[in-house]
Amino acid sequence: MECEEFLSLIDGYIERSTQESDEMPASVFFDLLFKRLSENVTETIELEIEIVDNQPVLQPPTGAVQVASNEILLGDRRIVVKLKNGSTYPTAQ
């Protein structure tokens, strides 16, 4: 049996088993949770990311958010953006 066919069978089983017990699939739960949490959002901040010398560099937006290299300071929180699994990319021109 191919891997894709096996995964499809598993997904089908999970779907059938959750319908019988009236349980909600996890993907639906997390979609609804995200939607509910997003209702409290008062401001959306968009960041542009560029890869320079194999490092993510965030382009600073205007406003109360401070950005330096791959770090974002948002109030009393620091967000650090990293490349997954040491991925490498060509140097930006």
The percent of residues above 90 in pLDDT, for the chain, comes to: 0
d(CA 32, CA 26): 10
* pLDDT for res 92: 53
Give 59-77 pLDDT, tens digit per residue: 766 666 787 777 888 777 8
Among 33, 32, 28, smallest CA distance to 14 is for: 28
The pTM is what?
0.40
* pLDDT for res 89: 62
Whole-Å CA distances, 79 to 51, 55, 68, 69: 17, 15, 11, 11
Q: Per-residue confidence at 81, pLDDT binned at 50, 70, 90?
A: confident
Across the chain, mean pLDDT equals 76
Domain edges within the chain: 3-38, 48-86
Give 30-56 pLDDT, tens digit per residue: 888 888 888 888 877 777 888 888 777
